[in-house]
A = this chain, B = another copy of it.
Amino acid sequence: MRYHKIPDETVRRLPVYLRGAMHLSQQGLESISSRHLADLLGVKPWQIRKDFSYFGDFGTPGVGYHLESLIKQINKILRLDAGQKAVLVGVGNLGSALLAFPGFGMYGFEIAAAFDVDKRKIGRRRGGVVIGDIAKLRNLRRRGICLGIIAVPEDTTQEVADTLVDAGIKGILNFSPRYITVPKRVKVITIDIAMDLARLPYYMPLS
């Protein structure tokens, strides 16, 4: 089942809600009001109510949102409930940090394969996976891998994206500050760390 009418901005906040709800559930809470959830996440209460209105009705007046239902529903909408396997291309500093990153498992993600061009790295084990030769990257879909993470230098980004698309990847998380071109059926999310940093000064006091 797909929920087609959810706006991109709401989809962007769903993992934020999911993370907040999991955090509160782990603390032993059963439900939370939109106001308290808003305080925790730095989102406006009306925004939460509007976002949640796209996918059903969790709220009980005077009680709030039932956390377990909320977690289940968001996992279902984002299709995280099945578990998702990703391939990492580029095992430099950033790639190594990603392989060691504890946060992926929280959302049902697993980096199931990693590739590099560096012969000194190929064959080594890092974060539970053996680094493969990028020249041999193919048939990822047969291994159940649909997501790709690109953490290579800027000038090889497009080439790696092409290789991933040929290998059957349907979604790409791109860490390179370079625009990449892929077929329309492939979704790309670019993380440019500098762009997030660039928003900070706007919010800082002028003093």
Contact = CB atoms under 8 A, between A and B. Distances in A.
B171 A11 contact: no
A200 B189 contact: yes
Contacts of A97: 92-94, 97
Interface in A26-77: 40, 42, 77
A84 B194 CA distance: 12
A198 B18 contact: yes
Interface stretch (A98-106, A114-122, A132-140, A159-167): A98-106
A174 to B, nearest CB: 10
Contacts of A200: 84, 147, 171-173, 187, 189
B98 A199 contact: no
A187 B203 contact: yes
A168 B86 CA distance: 40
Query: Nearest 10 pairs between A and B by C-beta?
Result: A93-B97, A171-B200, A187-B203, A15-B195, A94-B97, A103-B194, A15-B198, A170-B204, A79-B201, A103-B177
Interface of A: 2, 9, 11-12, 14-16, 18-19, 23, 40, 42, 77-80, 84, 86, 92-94, 96-98, 100-104, 106-107, 109, 146-147, 149, 154, 170-173, 177, 179, 185, 187-189, 191-206
